[in-house]
Amino acid sequence: MAEPAPYRSTPVFDETSLPKALQAAHSTKADTWGILEIISGSLQYVIEESQEIRLMATGDRQLIEPGQLHHVSLVGPMQMQVHFYREKLDIPSNLNTG
């Protein structure tokens, strides 16, 4: 079955245009799932409560749960985009601690 289309997507951000708000703790709405997509380069995705960290690279996607505080940290040149959905998508969440 095909993946549903997002109801909204951010612009493509790079290391110079990534908003400071995404680099600080923030969350999606209670009924909104996000998918963080790394188009090129690498980026760290951090869940605030558990301090779980995932180093993401080109082609990686990360599920963002509704209401879950998280942020991203720059580690070098990158391009990323976030897509928003009204339902959970079936993608793995490969977080690593450390």
> pLDDT 10s per residue in the chain (98 long)?
577 899 999 999 999 999 999 999 999 999 999 999 999 999 999 999 999 999 999 999 999 999 999 999 999 999 999 999 998 887 765 544 33
Q: Which domains does the chain have, with CATH numbers?
A: 13-85 (2.60.120.10)
Q: According to the model, what pLDDT value does residue 73 have?
A: 98
Q: According to the model, what pLDDT value does residue 90 have?
A: 79
Q: According to the model, what pLDDT value does residue 1 have?
A: 58
Q: According to the model, what pLDDT value does residue 98 have?
A: 38
Among 57, 53, 47, 50, residue whose Cα is nearest residue 79? 57
How many helices and strands (H and E) does the chain possess?
Answer: 0, 6
* Cα distance between residue 82 and residue 6, in whole Å: 10
70 φ, ψ to 5°? Answer: -155, 170
* Cα distance between residue 77 and residue 48, in whole Å: 23
Among 66, 61, 9, residue whose Cα is nearest residue 35? 61
Q: How many CA atoms lie within 13 A of 48 on its CB side?
A: 13
Q: According to the model, what pLDDT value does residue 91 have?
A: 72
Q: According to the model, what pLDDT value does residue 94 have?
A: 53
